[in-house]
Amino acid sequence: MNQFRNLVDALETAPSDRPFVTFWVDENESETVTFGEFRQRAVSQAVVLHENGVRDGDRVVVIMPQGISAMTTFIGAMMLGAVPAFLAYPNFKIEPSKYSSGLRGVTANLGAKVVAIDQQFPNEMLEHVSLGGETKLLQVGEGRGDAGRLLPRAHIAPDQLAFIQHSAGTTGLQKGVALTHAAVLRQVGYLVDTLKVGERDRIYSWLPLYHDMGLIACFMLPMVAHLHVVMQSPLDWVMSPGSMLQVVSEYKCTLAWLPNFAFQFVPRRTLKSRWEQLDLSSMRVIINCSEPVRTASMKEFEEMFAAIGLKPGVLQSSYAMAENVFAVTQSNIGAQSDPRLIWADGHRFRANHRAVAVPEGTAGAMSFTSSGRLLPNHEIRIVSDSGEHLTDGFVGEIHLRSDCLFTGYYNRQDLTEQAIVDDWYRTGDLGFRLDGELYVVGRKKDL
């Protein structure tokens, strides 16, 4: 995506009449906006933000339900040269005072100018929200107002911060991952090439926008590549997991990303009578982005839905993280085969931290699923606790170097210096390489 200077440029070059986002509620309710309509709404949100003091370089926190308004507010901030950040919308399980305390900590760390919320933000939460400093709490609408006013044109450089990702959904997390326009555009370009994305592709997603899977794969990718994405609320999906199958069948979606648990959750929580008349034959890639990837979960999904058109080789795997914008590796797209599965001698693995391949069915063998091969311009090394660079098969911490890496944890130089050493990002994940592919074992702190 080298033809674009920044993410706003990518949006502005999209054909105005091409569908961009469909937000699906149920079989009787959905809303679709074209790229042209989305741009108009984003400009309207930018006007509101500008009137409330947001300028180039300011940080804007967006806490809104999954949907088009949240997306246009995010891009509206970006149009001003501001740096937006999604945070998770509060739910009934969260203690209001605890939520307010966490939110205050995040906004203070970001030095946020504005926290943009929707007009239905829970009153019980509003009563407890106290941001402090100069941060303004701003209720915004749907962006259907006056988009005709000329805004000051922000000159957004490629190396300017595009947005800040928080690497988990809780507002209590203080680590904001700072990403530039150039890094995001490069990542999208690698995804387009690796996944062989074309203009006929259509993305399905229920993934939260505050998570890298939802934000990058299902918002930035379709925005930059000018694709149609069909979204639904994560809460609606949890209540009715089979709705995913209905949406894919109705809209002929071709691409999706899912966490590992979803590959078992959907088959086990969906009545056969609800899906046996559907058609999943349009799907060409569904990517498991969990660490580690579980083959058994994917097999359950594949075997269950083969009867309604899910083809062999559609389910693939990837190793991804917010600190690299998103993906680091990707398994074999278009090969009509599942991600590589190996069996390793369990005793040697536990005793020597080494994966030695053995035949399937060997007593005590352990299975590992590949996360695929590196994206272009990505390097990894496997490092022992003593700092030794390990060879194939040996388990160690995964260190990453790429041109998609974050600039650091926002306003946390201490954490940045711990994480990035000599341009290598210490992921905290354990894994091993074998025949050019990466196998992720788990988090270092958990093992």
| pLDDT score recorded for residue 423 | 95
Whole-angstrom distance, CA of residue 266 vs CA of residue 305: 10
Instruction: Give one word for 41, left, alpha or beta, with left for phi > 0 and alpha for psi -120 to 50.
Output: alpha
pLDDT confidence of residue 145: 62
Q: Does the pLDDT of residue 326 top 80, yes or no? A: yes
What pLDDT was estimated at residue 242? 96
Closest CA to 241 of 276, 261, 265: 265
**Banded pLDDT at 25 (limits 50, 70, 90):** very high
Q: What percent of the chain is predicted at pLDDT more than 70? A: 96
Mean pLDDT of all residues in 212-216: 97
Give the Cα separation of 205 and 227 in Å (integer). Answer: 13
* Positive or negative torsion for Cα 66, 111, 167, 216: positive
Residue 176 phi/psi, 5-degree rounding, is: -95, 120
Please choose, from the candidates 138, 87, 82, the residue with its C-alpha nearest in 3D space to the C-alpha of residue 115.
Answer: 138
Average pLDDT over residues 204-225: 98
**Separation in Å, CA 319 to CA 267, 293, 378:** 24, 9, 12
Residue 442 makes CB contacts below 8 A (sequence gap 6+) with 291, 292, 429, 430
Q: What is the pLDDT of residue 169?
A: 38
Most confidently modeled range among 170-179, 239-248, 290-299: 239-248
Average pLDDT over residues 119-132: 80
- Terminus-to-terminus CA distance in the chain, angstroms? 39
pLDDT at 425 over 50: yes
Strands across the sheet containing 176-180: 161-166, 176-180, 408-409
pLDDT band at residue 259, thresholds of 50, 70 and 90? very high
Pick from 53-62, 102-111, 185-194, 243-252: least confident: 102-111
**Residue 294, C-beta contacts closer than 8 angstroms, at least 6 positions apart:** 260, 263, 369
425, 381 Cβ separation under 8 angstroms? no
SS3 breakdown of the chain: % helix, strand, coil, rounded to 5?
30, 25, 40
**pLDDT tens for each residue of 41-73:** 999 999 999 999 999 999 999 999 999 999 999
- Structure confidence by residue, pLDDT tens digits, 431-446: 999 999 999 999 887 7
Please check whether residue 325 is in contact with residue 179, taking contact to mean a CB–CB distance below 8 angstroms.
Answer: yes
What CA–CA distance (Å, rounded) separates 298 from 307? 15
pLDDT at residue 96, as a whole number: 85
Q: Does 116 have pLDDT greater than 90?
A: yes
pLDDT surpasses 80 at 92: no
> Are the beta carbons of 117 and 141 closer than 8 angstroms?
no
Share of residues in the chain with pLDDT > 90 (%): 81
pLDDT, position 47? 94
Helices and strands (H and E) in the chain: how many: 15, 23
Q: Please tell me the predicted confidence (pLDDT) of residue 172.
A: 45
**Whether pLDDT at 127 is above 80:** no
Return the higher-pLDDT residue of 428 and 147.
428
Q: Which DSSP symbol is given to 388?
A: P
Tokens at 155, concatenated: 């000159």
**pLDDT above 50 for 170:** no
pTM: 0.95
Between residues 130 and 189, the one the model is more confident about: 189
Q: Please report the pLDDT score of residue 58 as a whole number.
A: 98
Q: What is the mean pLDDT of the chain?
A: 93
Evaluate if residue 147 carries a pLDDT over 60.
no
Please report the pLDDT score of residue 173 as a whole number: 52
- Where would I find the beta strands (DSSP E) of 68-193? 83-86, 114-118, 136-140, 161-166, 176-180
Helical residues (DSSP H) of 35-141, grouped into ranges:
35-51, 68-79, 96-110, 123-126
Walk me through the domains of the chain, giving residue ranges and CATH numbers: 7-11+28-184 (3.40.50.12780), 240-446 (3.40.50.12780)
Q: How far apart are CA 348 and CA 352, in angstroms?
A: 5
* 277 burial level (CB within 10 Å; 0-12, 13-18, 19+): exposed
Average pLDDT over residues 322-345: 91
374-417 confidence digits (pLDDT tens): 999 999 999 999 999 999 999 999 999 999 999 999 999 999 99
Q: How much is the average pLDDT of 342-352?
A: 95
CA distance 266 to 299: 12
pLDDT of residue 171: 42
* pLDDT reported for residue 330: 97
Average pLDDT over residues 200-215: 98
